[in-house]
Chain A
């Protein structure tokens, strides 16, 4: 790790000012990706702005037919929240499968979504549920938020404050893990909403999380694993590495999608 300056922000306005003023600054929102990367000297921000002491950034709230989760809410808190478990069990389950207990106690939903790791779990839920990312500046629809590997629609001085998940009729997340890292090699989130069906895939895309329109169309006719039988995803544009070729990942998307639909019931 290289030397850096640690700053503790007491409010969002102060954090935004710091982001604007400090040279090469990064937000610390749990740091479960950032800190190991810094330790390996692969990232070297000059300034770290810790958001963890800002009031009101964590917690879960039911607002009408939406679940609103503060950006600094830990994976553990999402996984164990009775409100999430009752209203959006698929999301609680997803959070319970992230990393290991140490990661889940410290890692946060906002940190994960802002980082947009192509193998992370939360992007699949945000896109799969058609969530809204709420920032210090605006509200961003999930479909507009994730741009590419580790890239989002966030401006340099924009901070995620909440994520609002519309509660679906049915939803499930199933992932197949990379055996080494245990990140998702392929993770599929399916949701049946009153207005639409969404199928979002993480782990497999060469440019991050994506939706599968052909699966969504098929499931619109009938929300059943049978509807997906015989449907395939093209290997073009999928990631390929020692853990999974693009062809294997394409195959797993189909398998995981069918299982997610079955699990959603």
Chain B
């Protein structure tokens, strides 16, 4: 291992510009003559728009234009779409209702854009927006997903009777029912997987500019996948042909999924920029983010797990209602189906699984992928059931897991996933050692002496990353393939520009991708720059989400490097006057096998460009290679997280006092960055379990619409984490990478809730386990004990 190659904990190259304020985010970009757009958002969850009067507003200082949904509709552009078709049990396609970029006739959630004001300054746009008179007829709202499909509930969209988008299922219903019937013991749980607001540090932002001379648009915006955005805006919205639309995602300050999607705001900015003949800029205020960024999770689930007399799991039945909000966001349909039910086997051999998912519309902010996307929800179902099952059977939760772990690979689950490699015993064993599991009883007694309740909880999770084999996702209804591209441009002096279709918004690709190139070519990472996020520079790419950049993006880089090395060897062979087959390339040096003849990397790259020493009829000058890599399977990172909590029974306050994470991410490029990803993921998962609570009142107002009421995790909510790893390489990609970006957020909620329920001796609590709800659960326990 070199000092900066694969496996080295290299400091992040990009951090200098971020921590010295030299980053270039969308809001930092100022275009000559730019105007500012303000979105007028519905204050009602469900309301008919009777009339919009912008006359007084139009006379306000600095106002350039006021547009309504009717104006936008006149342009006859396409609606926003969900690009993944899911079929119901009966084979009928999902009921996708129209999603216009500006609401026409009816607003469907608080925050739904109903008109826009464009002015010289943001303050002028906002001032004028207050003068726009909108006459609403307030309609009854549908808020509770569990009741959305019930008879008598108001209809949100004509296209979706009963507010139902699909009734989907996976697995064998009959065999599962039989397994439950024959079971020695069945553990039943009902729970809500709480809705989360993503809260990226940088709010969403966009600037759109139309150049009348070339009839082309440029869009700078905070996106995780600029090429997909260009494709959708071009092919489905129809704003401009693909070659006349350049999308640039500059520095992006966090996404967690929320910046994957194509939202109304960027579409309206583009359309309006041509309409008013000026660049149009928008940066969300935090309050807008709360009511317009796609939210995450929001499941209502009933689940049953069957066990035999030995504690072997014999079946699992799950019914989930998934709340997709007021409109179907870009990938919303896939999250509670293919990214959820396919992971319900967890790390276990479960012979029969059946899962039904009913997706519903409600008058709430749309819901889509958020860090983990479906897999935290699946892990929560499986890991809560296993833990509670162990308690009910009087078995040690670690022992029950061991009894059921998948042992031999490949393993075909009963919910379509084909696990390729793993060692679940190894990660559990290591975690038990590091955590001092044996000492828990002693620690619990110590806590008791101090008047505290102590609990311990496990999550032995699995996730499917490296999305995804294109043909497979095509069969499942995806509108795109999920390969990745890379281009290695070697300069005459030997330095490298690496172009990738992935996008970094916190992951550290500028460092890790450079490490892969540095290791392969034997050059310092300073000589590698990573180029991404601009459709004019990178030809195409699928962006970054689903922990795919390592497993898919780096695999494309490796493929391109293979081609670069092959070509460079040809040039070296001529330079060294040897046969191509005798050239060995190692540590940045080409040598002729069995001789002392050699040429340095820089000599060969220069020769490739000056082309003095080889026949250009046989070898083209230059050294630049591209590759597209399509994965052959998902990757399956897995691991064991152990959470230990201490609860103050007088207040219900929960403190996490110890955390052990042992993850198997396959090959690790930069252990420091991977550890950071685990830390961030765990913090987010702890946020879901303890703090983050998205509350709508019955009229559809978002009660938790600011940080005064929506609690984000802070440093003092977490202990110092013990993070370690085990490694089984992924067999399906060249470096054996599995992915690490979401693991923490997937494992943490179940681990925390297993620990809390262990401490309070009650399963009767949902996330987030706030002090109030823990205290209330404890009150119930003591009341039922008193009654008994």
A-to-B contact residues, CB < 8 Å = 1-2, 40-41, 176, 179-181, 242-245, 248, 251-252, 255
Cβ distance A100 to chain B, nearest Cβ, rounded Å: 10
Cβ distance A221 to chain B, nearest Cβ, rounded Å: 23
Question: Which of B123, B711, B776 is A179 in contact with, Cβ under 8 Å?
Answer: B711
| B651, CB-defined interface residue at 8 Å | yes
Q: Give every chain B residue within 8 A of A242 (Cβ-Cβ).
A: 693, 695, 703-704, 709
| B691, CB-defined interface residue at 8 Å | yes
Complex Cα spacing A248 to B774, Å: 11
Question: Which of A176, A181, A243, A245 is B707 in contact with, Cβ under 8 Å?
Answer: A181
Q: Give every chain B residue within 8 A of A251 (Cβ-Cβ).
A: 775
Beta-carbon contact of A179 and B691 below 8 Å: yes
Question: Which of A1, A243, A255 is B772 in contact with, Cβ under 8 Å?
Answer: A243
| B287, CB-defined interface residue at 8 Å | yes
Scan B679-698; emit 1 where CB is below 8 A from any A CB, else 0. Answer: 00000000000110101000
Beta-carbon contact of A40 and B707 below 8 Å: no
| B771, CB-defined interface residue at 8 Å | yes
Cβ distance A247 to chain B, nearest Cβ, rounded Å: 9
Q: B interface, by DSSP: helix, strand, loop or mixed?
A: loop
A-B contact pairs, 12 of them (CB 8 A): A40-B287, A180-B691, A180-B710, A180-B711, A181-B708, A181-B709, A242-B709, A243-B772, A244-B772, A248-B776, A251-B775, A255-B650
Total of A-B residue pairs, C-beta within 8 Å: 40
Beta-carbon contact of A248 and B775 below 8 Å: yes
| B447, CB-defined interface residue at 8 Å | no
Q: Give every chain B residue within 8 A of A245 (Cβ-Cβ).
A: 772
Closest to A251 in B: B775
Per CB-CB distance, the 4 closest pairs between chain A and chain B, nearest first, are: A180-B711, A179-B711, A181-B708, A255-B650
Q: Give every chain A residue within 8 A of B710 (Cβ-Cβ).
A: 180
| B68, CB-defined interface residue at 8 Å | no
Complex Cα spacing A113 to B709, Å: 23
| B732, CB-defined interface residue at 8 Å | no
Beta-carbon contact of B651 and A179 below 8 Å: no
Complex Cα spacing A251 to B770, Å: 15
Complex Cα spacing A40 to B651, Å: 33
- Give B753-783 interface residues, CB cut-off 8 Å to A: 770-772, 775-776
Given contacts A41-B126, A179-B771, A180-B711, 12 further A-B contacts (CB under 8 A): A176-B651, A179-B711, A179-B770, A180-B708, A180-B710, A181-B708, A242-B693, A242-B703, A243-B709, A243-B770, A245-B772, A255-B650
Cβ distance B297 to chain A, nearest Cβ, rounded Å: 18
Q: Give every chain A residue within 8 A of B653 (Cβ-Cβ).
A: 176
- Give B671-729 interface residues, CB cut-off 8 Å to A: 690-691, 693, 695, 703-704, 707-712
Q: Give every chain B residue within 8 A of A180 (Cβ-Cβ).
A: 691, 704, 707-712
Q: Give every chain A residue within 8 A of B287 (Cβ-Cβ).
A: 40
Closest to A181 in B: B708
Complex Cα spacing A242 to B768, Å: 12
Cβ distance A45 to chain B, nearest Cβ, rounded Å: 16
Q: Give every chain B residue within 8 A of A255 (Cβ-Cβ).
A: 650-651
Q: How large is the interface on B (under 10, 10 to 19, 20 to 34, 35 or more residues)?
A: 20 to 34
Closest to B773 in A: A248
Q: Give every chain B residue within 8 A of A176 (Cβ-Cβ).
A: 651, 653, 771
Q: Give every chain B residue within 8 A of A179 (Cβ-Cβ).
A: 690-691, 711, 770-771
Q: Give every chain B residue within 8 A of A244 (Cβ-Cβ).
A: 772
Complex Cα spacing A2 to B695, Å: 29
Complex Cα spacing A67 to B588, Å: 74
B-to-A contact residues, CB < 8 Å = 123, 126-127, 287, 650-651, 653, 690-691, 693, 695, 703-704, 707-712, 770-772, 775-776
Closest to A186 in B: B651
Cβ distance B171 to chain A, nearest Cβ, rounded Å: 37
Q: A interface, by DSSP: helix, strand, loop or mixed?
A: loop
Q: Give every chain A residue within 8 A of B711 (Cβ-Cβ).
A: 179-180
Complex Cα spacing A176 to B775, Å: 13
Cβ distance B214 to chain A, nearest Cβ, rounded Å: 39
Cβ distance A115 to chain B, nearest Cβ, rounded Å: 15
Closest to A248 in B: B772
Beta-carbon contact of B651 and A252 below 8 Å: yes
Q: Give every chain A residue within 8 A of B707 (Cβ-Cβ).
A: 180-181
Cβ distance A21 to chain B, nearest Cβ, rounded Å: 27
Interface centre among B127, B707, B709, B710 (most CB of A within 10 A): B709
Cβ distance A226 to chain B, nearest Cβ, rounded Å: 15
Q: Give every chain B residue within 8 A of A181 (Cβ-Cβ).
A: 707-709
Closest to A242 in B: B695
Complex Cα spacing A40 to B771, Å: 29
Q: Give every chain B residue within 8 A of A252 (Cβ-Cβ).
A: 651
Cβ distance B386 to chain A, nearest Cβ, rounded Å: 29
Complex Cα spacing A41 to B287, Å: 12
Interface centre among B695, B712, B772 (most CB of A within 10 A): B772
Cβ distance B148 to chain A, nearest Cβ, rounded Å: 22
Complex Cα spacing A248 to B773, Å: 10
Q: Give every chain A residue within 8 A of B704 (Cβ-Cβ).
A: 180, 242
Complex Cα spacing A248 to B770, Å: 12
Q: Give every chain B residue within 8 A of A243 (Cβ-Cβ).
A: 709, 770, 772
Cβ distance B410 to chain A, nearest Cβ, rounded Å: 44
Cβ distance A182 to chain B, nearest Cβ, rounded Å: 9
Complex Cα spacing A1 to B127, Å: 9
Cβ distance B126 to chain A, nearest Cβ, rounded Å: 8
Complex Cα spacing A242 to B709, Å: 8
Closest to B768 in A: A179
Complex Cα spacing A244 to B772, Å: 6
Complex Cα spacing A2 to B703, Å: 25
Cβ distance B243 to chain A, nearest Cβ, rounded Å: 42
Complex Cα spacing A171 to B126, Å: 49
Complex Cα spacing A129 to B650, Å: 26
Complex Cα spacing A137 to B707, Å: 38
Cβ distance B721 to chain A, nearest Cβ, rounded Å: 20
Interface centre among B127, B287, B691, B775 (most CB of A within 10 A): B775
Cβ distance B517 to chain A, nearest Cβ, rounded Å: 42
Q: Give every chain A residue within 8 A of B695 (Cβ-Cβ).
A: 242
Complex Cα spacing A41 to B127, Å: 10
Q: Give every chain A residue within 8 A of B127 (Cβ-Cβ).
A: 2
Q: Give every chain A residue within 8 A of B651 (Cβ-Cβ).
A: 176, 252, 255
Closest to A179 in B: B711
Cβ distance B274 to chain A, nearest Cβ, rounded Å: 31
Cβ distance A243 to chain B, nearest Cβ, rounded Å: 7
Interface centre among B653, B690, B712, B771 (most CB of A within 10 A): B771
Cβ distance B718 to chain A, nearest Cβ, rounded Å: 14
Q: Give every chain A residue within 8 A of B703 (Cβ-Cβ).
A: 242
Complex Cα spacing A252 to B770, Å: 14
Complex Cα spacing A2 to B124, Å: 10
Cβ distance A257 to chain B, nearest Cβ, rounded Å: 12
Cβ distance A132 to chain B, nearest Cβ, rounded Å: 32
Complex Cα spacing A52 to B653, Å: 39
Complex Cα spacing A251 to B774, Å: 14
Complex Cα spacing A252 to B695, Å: 23
Cβ distance A214 to chain B, nearest Cβ, rounded Å: 19
Cβ distance A199 to chain B, nearest Cβ, rounded Å: 17
Cβ distance B647 to chain A, nearest Cβ, rounded Å: 14
Q: Give every chain A residue within 8 A of B691 (Cβ-Cβ).
A: 179-180
Complex Cα spacing A155 to B772, Å: 39
Complex Cα spacing A176 to B770, Å: 13
Interface centre among B651, B704, B711 (most CB of A within 10 A): B651
Closest to B691 in A: A179
Q: Give every chain B residue within 8 A of A40 (Cβ-Cβ).
A: 287
